């Protein structure tokens, strides 16, 4: 029968006290999980800004010579969508950056909880809105681009394109969304449970 003090002695004489790894390579400090999450959002935002610039460049200097203003309007709409999505990702990046790892556990856990609640809300409206606006823009763009094509080509293209979009949104997208929502809800639940453990 051991008493707690004996367990303490046991703990203190444990040979597992020497870290098996060397001093962490701080040049790879971006590998930290929080930093990784932050950088993912930042890189995504930068890519979207570059995409918007590329499309804008094509519209201005590409020499397409479209006849209708709305075709350029569609390209502008794609740029706007990319920029809006980029701002959302940049905002998420800032939200993660503001989480204070040096705060006490309750505050720290509640900051992550707030972040995940925000992600949950974002997932709800961001995906559908992005899908609808992007397809609207592409639909408008194709009006002029497809005007010269044969009726058969237009029909085949229309069916394949619409079919793929419907499949991607209602089947693939919904499944991914549901999985992500469940994962976030599970994380929020676990965070709440741990928070309670400190104060019960």
- Closest CB 199 distance from other proteins, rounded Å: 7
What distance in Å separates the CA atoms of residue 116 and residue 184, rounded to the nearest whole number?
6
Among 86, 27, 23, 28, residue whose Cα is nearest residue 54: 86
Residues written for the chain: 200
- Closer Cβ to other proteins, 33 or 150, answer by number: 33
Handedness of CA 62, 64, 65, 66 (dihedral sign): negative
- Closer Cβ to other proteins, 105 or 128, answer by number: 105
- Closer Cβ to other proteins, 87 or 193, answer by number: 193
Which residues, at least 6 apart from 119, have a Cβ–Cβ distance to it below 8 Å? Answer: 92, 184
- Closest CB 45 distance from other proteins, rounded Å: 20
- Closer Cβ to other proteins, 133 or 187, answer by number: 187
Binding site for other proteins (CB under 8 A): 1-4, 7-8, 10-21, 23-24, 26, 28-29, 31-35, 37, 101-109, 112, 183, 187, 190-191, 194, 197-199
- Closest CB 96 distance from other proteins, rounded Å: 11
């Amino acid at each position: 029968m051991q008493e707690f003090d004996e367990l303490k002695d046991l703990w203190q004489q444990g040979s597992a006290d020497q870290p098996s790894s060397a001093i962490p390579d701080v040049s790879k400090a971006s590998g930290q999980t929080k930093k990784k999450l932050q950088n993912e959002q930042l890189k995504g935002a930068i890519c979207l800004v570059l995409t918007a610039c590329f499309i804008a460049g094509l519209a201005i200097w590409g020499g397409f010579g479209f006849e209708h203003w709305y075709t350029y309007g569609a390209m502008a709409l794609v740029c706007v969508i990319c920029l809006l999505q980029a701002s959302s990702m940049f905002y998420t990046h800032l939200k993660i950056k503001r989480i204070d790892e040096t705060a006490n556990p309750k505050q720290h856990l509640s900051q992550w909880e707030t972040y995940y609640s925000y992600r949950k809300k974002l997932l709800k409206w961001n995906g559908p809105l992005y899908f609808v606006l992007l397809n609207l823009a592409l639909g408008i763009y194709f009006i002029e681009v497809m005007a010269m094509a044969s009726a058969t080509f237009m029909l085949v293209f229309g069916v394949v394109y619409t079919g793929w979009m419907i499949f991607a949104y209602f089947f693939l997208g919904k499944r991914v969304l549901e999985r992500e929502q469940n994962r976030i809800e599970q994380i929020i639940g676990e965070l709440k449970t741990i928070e309670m453990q400190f104060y019960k």
